[in-house]
Structure 1
């Protein structure tokens, strides 16, 4: 994947303390536009806390968050989303008893600012169907458009979550454990899907499955105990003795 060098997201000294416990400790992160950047680390490393800080579900104790060169450290979650930073779970609470197509239409309504107009006649929403079907095709769900969402297999539900994320036209997609809990076949399908939808946008993901990380990532940042332990390509970080020690308990 081509790297144009522009930094779309940067943190400087990002820190979060909880009553004396330092969950994120001085993290400096640079995410380049048009890349897939993975955030990995053992359990308790601080990955999800970093995501919560970036999307403003938590306020940092110290540090700065820059997006496209602008300081967004004190902005609210809604402001962050309007900038084009979309975290998968923010809009992936899919409605289980709506159809797959209806779920994507609701996400498209959010983009139009009409998301809470549920009392509008359904025919008024048909204008959204064409775009909704395009998004479903992008995630290989076009054949499931009329299925009730609760009936979908787990991997297909995650694909629907990605479709609803795409409906908000994000510049930066934050994917939190996109393959968690999946069988091997679903992992492969969703990994390929992430690769496909990353075209012309930036992806920052937290992911435990290292084979997915190796397959997809341009850059990997390894966290341990709230600090950046290493950063680089998969080949670089997978041979780093400190990374091996953090994951395996011993340098190899």
Structure 2
């Protein structure tokens, strides 16, 4: 298996509380891999370890076969490990086009020379519009981001993530708080952008996970409970027990 990302015995403790407990994770290149689990299972903490927003207590993180455990968040981002967050993070009073263009500026040697003429950024417009077409936002290019619906703001965030040229996209709850129409839009969008990229996602919506994830890792109390395709994981008695209650019906009946 060609793994783009691997963790070995990845562990994070907070004053005696083990939030992530010896997790061995293998993300296959070109796949959509989902992390699921009940609230408090350690999913977002795991994301924070992978992007070095948190330092692991022990264990190893490998990306493209290289040990990145001790690298800085900036260095890891430069390698192409780019994440989104649970809360949409766009510049509300910049236009949709300008939001993507800001993300593209990192490719220039003058990335943070904000005093330069706006005309110096014109070369980025074509690339920005291409990314907006990819997420079906081209017709909103001149609109201020604050005017977008919640679902389209998340689509814009995916466009800005794509602008960072990710090798591995980490999506944290990409459909959280969305209505059915927006969920369907983002589900289709993730499937589309994953055609030639690798995606690791934390997601609670089992209908989304079951329909697009190639592999699912189930966490419980910080440890791996089960792993495999949805058809296998959803029938695992330990997984069903972990999801007892309203989520159990959703897990087993997502298809």
**In which range does the TM-score fall when normalised by the shorter chain?**
over 0.9
Change in 2 beyond 3 A, CA 1:113/1:52: farther
Separation in structure 2 between the aligned mates of residue 42 and residue 89 of structure 1, nearest angstrom: 18
In structure 1, what is the equivalent of residue 189 of structure 2? 193
In structure 2, what is the equivalent of residue 51 of structure 1? 47
Alignment equivalent of 2:65, drawn from 56, 66, 69: 69
SS in 1 for 2:21: strand
Alignment equivalent of 1:159, drawn from 155, 158, 171: 155
Alignment equivalent of 2:27, drawn from 31, 43, 49: 31
Separation in structure 2 between the aligned mates of residue 146 and residue 76 of structure 1, nearest angstrom: 35
Structure 2: where are the runs of 5+ without partners? Answer: none
Is the CA contact (8 Å cut-off) linking 1:16 and 1:22 kept in structure 2? yes
Separation in structure 1 between the aligned mates of residue 186 and residue 235 of structure 2, nearest angstrom: 26
| Residue 97 of structure 2 corresponds to residue 94 of structure 1 | no
TM-score, normalization by structure 1: 0.95
Q: How far does the alpha carbon of each residue in 1:22-69 deviate from its partner, in whole angstroms, 9 at most, with x for none?
A: 000000000000000000000000000000000000000010000111
RMSD: 1.7
Alignment equivalent of 2:37, drawn from 28, 37, 41: 41
Structure 1: where are the runs of 5+ without partners? Answer: none
After TM superposition, which residue ranges in structure 1, 4 or more long, deviate above 6 angstroms?
A: none
Is the CA contact (8 Å cut-off) linking 2:85 and 2:173 kept in structure 1? no
TM-score, normalization by structure 2: 0.94
- Trace 1:70-149 onto structure 2 (pairs within 5 A): 70-89=66-85, 93-149=89-145
| Residue 224 of structure 2 corresponds to residue 228 of structure 1 | yes
User: What is the aligned residue count?
Assistant: 248
Alignment equivalent of 2:171, drawn from 172, 175, 183: 175
Separation in structure 2 between the aligned mates of residue 121 and residue 26 of structure 1, nearest angstrom: 50
The alpha carbon displacement at 1:94 in A equals 1.3
Is the CA contact (8 Å cut-off) linking 1:107 and 1:115 kept in structure 2? no
| Residue 2 of structure 2 corresponds to residue 6 of structure 1 | yes
The alpha carbon displacement at 1:201 in A equals 0.9
Is the CA contact (8 Å cut-off) linking 2:214 and 2:229 kept in structure 1? yes
SS in 1 for 2:69: coil
Q: How far does the alpha carbon of each residue in 1:85-135 deviate from its partner, in whole angstroms, 9 at most, with x for none?
A: 001139x62110000000000000023343322221111111100000000
The alpha carbon displacement at 1:246 in A equals 0.4
Is the CA contact (8 Å cut-off) linking 1:35 and 1:202 kept in structure 2? yes
Q: How far does the alpha carbon of each residue in 1:231-252 deviate from its partner, in whole angstroms, 9 at most, with x for none?
A: 00001010000000001169x9
